[in-house]
Structures are given as C-alpha cells and as structure tokens.
Amino acid sequence: MRLVKQLLAVAAVAFVGGQAVGLAAGNPWLALPLGVATAVAALLVYAWVVRRTEHREPTEVARAGAGAKLGRGTLIGFGMFAVVIMAITAVSGYHVHGFGSVSGTLALLGFMAAAAVTEELLVRGVLFRILEERTGTWIALVLTGVLFGAMHLFNPDAGLWGAIAISVEAGFMLAACYAATRSLWAPIGLHFGWNFAAGGIFSVVVSGNGESKGLLDASTSGPAVFSGGDFGPEGSLFTVVAGVALTVVFLRLARKRGHIVPRRRRAAEVEATAKVTP
C-alpha cells in the first residue's frame, strides 16, 4: 500500500509539472523556473508521503550534504557523457557545426531538472528501495532496471535495442549508485548531468525524443552501433560499455560499505541455521 501511495503522490507532481514544462518549452524564462519548481515540489511531496506512510525521516533526501552529493553525481554524469561523445567523435560519428541556442539550453535545463528528480524519486526512491527491502539488492536492481528501460519504449524514436541499452547502462547503473551511497542526491545528479550534457550542451537526441537545441549546433552520423542512430548516443555501444563499467564500480563500493541487501528468505534461513548450530 505504501508503494502505491508514494508512487501516486510523486507521479501526480511529475505529470502536472511535466505538462506545464512541456507547454512552456518555447519560452525558456517559463520552462526553467517551472522545471525547477516541479523538481522541488516532487522532493517535498516525496519526503511528506514517506513520513506519512513509513513513519520515519526520509534520510535518502536529507538536506545535510545534499549539495556535495548532487554535485558529485552531476560531474560523474557529465563526465561520462563527455567520454562517450569523445569516443563517438573518434569514429567520425559526432560533428559540431557551430553554436546552437542559449535559450534552448536554458529551457532544457529546467526540463532535465524536473525529469531527473521525478524519475529518480519514482524508480530508485520508491520502486527500487521498497523492492530491495523485500527481494534484496540484486533482484530489485534487475527488475527496476528492466522497467526503466521499458519506460523509454514510449519515446518517439525508441526501439527494443534502445530500451535494452537504457536498462543496462542507466537503469542498473543508477540503482547501483543509490545502493552505494544510500542517498538519492547522487543518482539525481548523475541522471541530470548525463541528460543535460546530452541535450543542453552537445545537442544530441536524448533517449529517442528527437533533436535537441542546446549550446552547440551538432549532429551524429555513421553506424548506429557507434552513434546510437535515431535513439541518440544512449543507443551506442560506447554508452553501454561506460554504463556497465560504472555499475561495477558502484556495486563494488556498495559491497565494500556493506550496503548490499541479501534476499530476505536467504537471510532468514542463515539466521535460523545459526540459532540451531552448536
């Protein structure tokens, strides 16, 4: 029941805010504040509904250290995308033609902020966190990763490969990031840094959503296995490799910190065995 209540509460904010930002997409002076307002509202609603349904403080969105965690996540996301773009450029798949649109960049800043916050609250904050309590880290990571990829099938230029790629490189990675840090600020920052770098700076297609008008006037070409084709660089083999690498790093960090949650049944069996063992 708490899962449903939390999902509905955050989803309602995401829907209303998303519609408002979408309508203001042509006006960056509206899209930017509306996007930020949606992100803030979603965080406040999430914290409120967690307190009401779980009777605890939502430490995963605690204000203490939020800026540093958000900043580190953003740098990782931005850096990861920059590495992917360099790899695509090295095989002549990415081309810069000049400067793009500053107003478009500002509008995307608001849109990406709202998308990163609401998606992380829904998928990692609610679904992954609650499933992990019941099934353990590994099963929750796989289930929410696949679901996250499937969510992108509804995008205009999406396809099966794009959904699979998103599951592996983003769904698994962002869940692993949360498992390692036990904070939603890091995956929110990572998600935002990646998306904003893609659409707001390098002006490429983001998750099959069509062309982006960001800071650079750019285009991609060549084999889809490298450029990502119509789905954008997230459909590139380079991105999948980068995402898998980061997932492994985060999971190792989670294990080192003792953050991996075992399967409930297995944990109960181990405890029962320990009690009867002389």
Higher-confidence position of 278 and 220: 220
Q: Looking at the predicted structure, is the pLDDT value of residue 202 above 60? A: yes
The CB density around residue 122, as the number of other CB atoms within 10 Å, is 22
Q: 216 - beta bridge partners?
A: 99
Q: Where does the pLDDT of residue 263 fall: very low under 50, low under 70, confident under 90, or very high at 90 and above?
A: confident
- d(CA 28, CA 275) in angstroms, rounded, equals 63
Q: What is the mean pLDDT of the chain?
A: 92
pLDDT at 29: 87
- d(CA 251, CA 50) in angstroms, rounded, equals 26
> Considering the chain, what percentage of its residues have pLDDT values greater than 90?
81
The CB density around residue 14, as the number of other CB atoms within 10 Å, is 22
pLDDT tens, 103-157? 999 999 999 999 999 999 999 999 999 999 999 999 999 999 999 999 999 898 9
Poorest-confidence range of 22-36, 51-65, 188-202? Answer: 22-36
pTM above 0.85, yes or no: yes
- d(CA 117, CA 100) in angstroms, rounded, equals 26
Q: Where does the pLDDT of residue 221 fall: very low under 50, low under 70, confident under 90, or very high at 90 and above?
A: very high
Region 255-266 average pLDDT: 85
pLDDT at 22: 84
Poorest-confidence range of 59-68, 198-207, 265-274? Answer: 265-274
Going along the chain, which residue ranges are E strands?
94-99, 216-220
Q: Where does the pLDDT of residue 273 fall: very low under 50, low under 70, confident under 90, or very high at 90 and above?
A: very low
Q: Where does the pLDDT of residue 79 fall: very low under 50, low under 70, confident under 90, or very high at 90 and above?
A: very high
Q: Where does the pLDDT of residue 268 fall: very low under 50, low under 70, confident under 90, or very high at 90 and above?
A: very low
pLDDT at 203: 96
**Quick one: tokens of 267?**
């944990």
pLDDT at 277: 37
pLDDT at 267: 44
Long-range contacts of 214-217 (CB under 8 A, 24+ apart): 214/100, 214/101, 214/104, 214/105, 214/108, 215/99, 215/100, 215/101, 215/102, 215/105, 216/96, 216/98, 216/99, 216/100, 217/96, 217/97, 217/98, 217/99, 217/100
Higher-confidence position of 268 and 218: 218
- d(CA 47, CA 39) in angstroms, rounded, equals 12
- Phi then psi for residue 264, to 5 deg, are -60, -45
pLDDT at 278: 39
Q: What is the DSSP letter of 35?
A: H
Region 74-98 average pLDDT: 97
Region 44-57 average pLDDT: 95
pLDDT at 37: 96
- d(CA 83, CA 65) in angstroms, rounded, equals 27
Q: Looking at the predicted structure, is the pLDDT value of residue 270 above 70? A: no
